[in-house]
């Protein structure tokens, strides 16, 4: 609607079209780059009509919504795609739905041409020129690997059920940095740490935050680790 600004004849025509559709009981959907009250250069009689119905603010889909879009699109096309690929795509393409659908089409085409099932490695290779990695590779894999090495614990134990103190500390610190450096939801972070729920992630982040405030030695540990993520 913002493009009608200052176009008196077009506004006059649209006014009559609007009235005709409204009187016929039709549903009218309009879009603009700002709320009706902020539109300028439009006739008052048009603005008053724009305010009759529901005004909804549409934003780019969040991580969970992007995952749902991918899963739904693949199901509609009868294509089976592994959960880790769904998360990779949802995390990497965070602009708009059209670009996300374009990426899916490209991935499916690569799968068909190569006669190969879609997996994570294929997705990374096939889309390396399409997807611009978010967060400059400070991703969950890098965070987990860095924290495991720093605390000298096997990487796989960060995702295991063990409650050994050194593993728990490394896991909690990794969750803390995952929350700080990535756009993953709490649910997604928990999933990458052995299927833990979001409350465990919240507890881990709070525990680390409390220790930073109360333990000078631990605070030094966090400072050292944070340097490893800086600039990536």
**187 Cβ neighbours under 8 A, 6+ residues apart:** 64, 197, 198
> What is the Cα 28 distance to its own chain's centre?
30
Q: pLDDT tens across 172-202, in order?
A: 999 999 998 887 888 889 988 998 999 999 9
Q: How far is the C-alpha of 106 from the C-alpha of 215, rounded, in Å?
A: 50
pLDDT at 136: 41
| Residues of the chain scoring pLDDT < 50 | 133-137
> Which residues of the chain are in CATH 1.10.1750.10 domains?
136-229
Instruction: Tell me which architecture the domain covering 136-229 has in CATH.
Output: Orthogonal Bundle (1.10)
pLDDT at 129: 64
pLDDT at 142: 87
pLDDT at 131: 56
| Topology of the domain comprising 63-132 | Helicase, Ruva Protein; domain 3 (1.10.8)
pLDDT at 135: 42
Q: pLDDT tens across 131-150, in order?
A: 554 444 457 888 999 999 99
């Amino acid at each position: 609607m913002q493009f009608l600004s200052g176009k008196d004849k077009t506004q006059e025509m649209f006014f009559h079209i609007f009235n005709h559709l409204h009187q016929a009981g039709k549903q009218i959907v309009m879009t603009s780059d700002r709320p009706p009250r902020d539109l300028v250069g439009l006739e008052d009689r048009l603005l008053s009509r724009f305010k009759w119905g529901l005004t909804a603010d549409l934003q780019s889909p969040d991580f969970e919504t992007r995952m749902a879009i991918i899963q739904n699109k693949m199901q509609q096309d009868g294509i089976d795609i592994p959960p880790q690929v769904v998360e990779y795509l949802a995390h990497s393409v965070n602009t708009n739905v059209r670009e996300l659908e374009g990426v899916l089409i490209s991935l499916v085409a690569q799968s068909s041409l190569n006669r190969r099932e879609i997996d994570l490695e294929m997705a990374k290779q096939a889309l390396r020129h399409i997807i611009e990695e978010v967060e400059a590779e400070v991703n969950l894999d890098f965070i987990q690997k860095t924290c495991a090495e720093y605390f000298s614990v096997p990487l796989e134990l960060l995702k295991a059920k063990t409650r050994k103190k050194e593993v728990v500390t490394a896991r909690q610190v990794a969750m803390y940095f995952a929350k700080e450096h990535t756009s993953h939801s709490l649910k997604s972070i928990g999933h990458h740490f052995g299927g833990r729920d979001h409350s465990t992630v919240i507890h881990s982040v709070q525990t680390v935050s409390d220790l930073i405030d109360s333990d000078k030695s631990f605070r030094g540990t966090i400072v050292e680790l944070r340097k490893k993520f800086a600039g990536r």
